[in-house]
Chain A
Amino acid sequence: MSEHSKEKILIKAGKVLTPSGARISDVLIEDGKISSIKENLSAGDARTVDAKGMWVVPGLVDIHCHLREPGFEYKEDIASGTAAAAKGGFTSICCMANTDPVNDSPVVTEFIRKKARDAGPIHVHPIAALTKGLKGEQLTEVGELAASGAVALSDDGVSVRDANRLRLGLAYAKRFGLKVVSHPEDLDLTNGGLMNEGYWSTALGLAGITRAAEETIIARDCAIAELEDAPIHIAHVSTRGGAEVVRAMKKRGLKVTAETAPHYLYATDEWVRDYDTNTKVNPPLRTDDDQTALIEALRDGTIDCIATDHAPHHIDEKNVEFALAANGISGFETAFGICWTALVKPGHLTPEQLFEKMTSAPAAIFNLDAGVLEEGRVADVAVIDPEAEWVVDPKHFLSRGKNTPFTGRTLTGLARCTIAGGEVAYEVK
């Protein structure tokens, strides 16, 4: 447990989002729990957070990020990653297994959880590898990993190339209640591509990545999950066709869930035009048409949630030729602002819908005890300023990864205060 004492916190006069709806009230936090949600609460000795004009919502939940520790601490470590998450309003995050060593054993899972507890109050839930070394061959010890606190299984970064290996993994993991997360990408179709295949890849002379690389694997993995009657979660859906396959599979009755990432909702392949390597991400930034389809898929529930795919890198890995640059965007600190700006401001989603996509919905996918704000629960809370306009400047990121294509963009909406487990993890001074 953290050394910090659990102070009393009173969040005053915010628009509080509980399972029964949103209304103006106060929230009192005691002993790390939500002790009361009522109007006009008072607690003389409590630390007070003025939330007038703010949303008071469950701490945001991110089920897809890369914390880089162990092994790549020069990109990010658990302390800097959780600090960045807190700044972004997140209180529960799930980190992928592509560390060094890979998180394919209980030792690594436990190491990550211990480091996270030492770092502060943000809840870190490791996602373990489905196969040893992410090689797509031997299964990891799913039972032992579950017992050590892994919340899901994924070879994220690569898709399991051998369809039969995936079938075996889905069949075996069911018994231990861990969901398998698919990174949908057919590497043969990707064929060394560097950006979305289309007008811009042709105009810029960069090898393209066809949408079919994503769509075929979503279809394949869903068909295999259906075969085993196993649940499956699809990571970072970025295309119209990908969303359509998920929609069809849901209609068919499959236990499939899906996420997309903020950058697919705000940026397009046109952003690559000056060969800015900060726009290089996998799957790649797509088109306006894909964006429209993803927004529709969020609205109709085809895409269950938004996950950051926070992928911090060192500047030396981005300040190189486009072909040599690492894939990924440092996303924790821009995720909410982008989603509010791209989805709520234009009226595509209501505030409540967006909060659901970033709190209760992702929490439900991995059965996390998070994403709901009500009396008696662990006090994970984000105080969100929906009016704040701010300009993205990676110099101010708490993440070590300054790799963002959003530098200089004006966003609306940010977390003023993030409370995790009853402790203030971040507060705008």
Chain B
Amino acid sequence: MLKNKDLLGMRDITPEEIHEILNTAELMKTVVTSNNKKTPHLQGKSILTVFYENSTRTRLSFELASKYMSGVAANMSASTSSVAKGETLIDTARTLDVMGTDVLVLRHPMTGAPHLMAKNVKASVINAGDGTNEHPTQALLDMFTMREKKGGLKGLRVAIVGDVRHSRVARSNIYGLTKMGASVVVAGPDTLLQPGLERLGIEVTDRVDDAVKGADVVMGLRIQLERQKKGLFPSVAEYHKYFGLTEERIAMAKKDALVMHPGPINRGLEISSAVADCPQSTIDEQVTNGVAVRMALLFMLTRRKPEAAGL
């Protein structure tokens, strides 16, 4: 069982809760990979994905997860400009809440938006990515993938490489992995790291080679091209040469190291095509696991409501 009504971040949940989510996701994965993708777990429940930013895999995987479990799923897309001009987030959230929604899945360009929504609705809120803060379901699916491939998380050395500063995937993985006893090292140019990262209980380096050396898992992060214009790195070619995940660098990791990436990838920028498509790459499987993890979460959060048990 989950302690809180909402899943807002890996910062707020316990190792026991993470463990239980991953165990439940294991069961759900058998559904996703089976020929008959239908369970009654979300019968009579409605799930709404509310996306203020573009997304393919996150939104779709929540929608499929709901449908595989017989839940009702609908989507609301809003441009961010309408936030500033029109209805406030709280008003939108209340409107959606009183439509009988059980779970609101929110993606929003601003840090803390799901926290604000959660305070104002009865429905459970799942953070599907807020600003530069967290993306907990991505971290859970990443951890699920690592656990499945490596047999456990404790003692793993995980290198997270790239734009750590702006990455909600990185932050959620840092919180989740350190809670589960993995050791995390982040690497990238100093312009894409932040002060105080060490105090999250991780290693920090601006030399990607040092981070990748001996790693069990190497995770690349997406670099947005507009960062170049803002002066955070000088050119794609130089970034790829010094900070990209190349075959030579991946060779420094353990032989059976996993290569992960939350997608979408920029081939030839943060990761070379050869690395993205190598046998150790789990990029596609992460997507499958994402559906399983989201099924587990939707099930666990809707099971919390005592009055729902009798229906």
Contacts and interface: CB of A to CB of B under 8 A. Distances in A.
Interface of A: 194, 197-208, 274-275, 316, 319-324
Contacts of A200: 196
Interface of B: 11, 83-84, 88-90, 108, 110-113, 115-116, 130-134, 168, 171, 194-197, 199-200
B110 to A, nearest CB: 4
B110 A321 contact: yes
A323 B168 CA distance: 16
25 contacts: A197-B194, A198-B195, A199-B195, A199-B196, A199-B199, A202-B195, A203-B11, A203-B196, A203-B199, A205-B130, A206-B131, A206-B133, A208-B195, A274-B115, A275-B111, A275-B116, A319-B88, A319-B90, A320-B88, A320-B116, A321-B83, A321-B110, A321-B113, A322-B112, A323-B110
A202 B116 contact: no
Given A206-B112, A320-B116, A323-B110, 8 more contacts: A197-B195, A199-B196, A203-B200, A204-B112, A206-B111, A275-B115, A275-B116, A324-B110
A206 B199 CA distance: 16
Contacts of A324: 83-84, 110
B6 to A, nearest CB: 13
B111 A323 contact: yes
A275 B8 CA distance: 12
A320 B131 contact: no
Contacts of B112: 204, 206, 275, 321-323
A316 B115 CA distance: 17
A197 B195 CA distance: 7
A205 B130 CA distance: 9
B115 to A, nearest CB: 5
Contacts of B130: 205
Contacts of B115: 274-275
A287 to B, nearest CB: 11
A271 to B, nearest CB: 14
A94 to B, nearest CB: 33
Contacts of B108: 321
A242 B108 CA distance: 35
A133 B88 CA distance: 30
B247 to A, nearest CB: 32
B111 A205 contact: yes
A205 B196 contact: no
Given A202-B196, A275-B111, A321 B132 contact: no
B171 A205 contact: yes
- Which 9 A-B pairs have CB atoms at the shortest separation, nearest pair first? A205-B133, A275-B112, A199-B196, A202-B196, A321-B110, A323-B110, A322-B112, A202-B194, A199-B199
Given A204-B133, A205-B132, A207-B132, A321 B199 contact: no
Q: In this complex, which of B108, B111, B113, B131 has the most chain A Cβ atoms within 10 angstroms of its Cβ?
A: B111
B24 to A, nearest CB: 27
Contacts of A206: 111-112, 131-133
A30 B13 CA distance: 65
Contacts of B168: 205
A328 B98 CA distance: 33
Nearest to B135: A205
B131 A202 contact: no
Contacts of A321: 83, 89, 108, 110, 112-113, 116
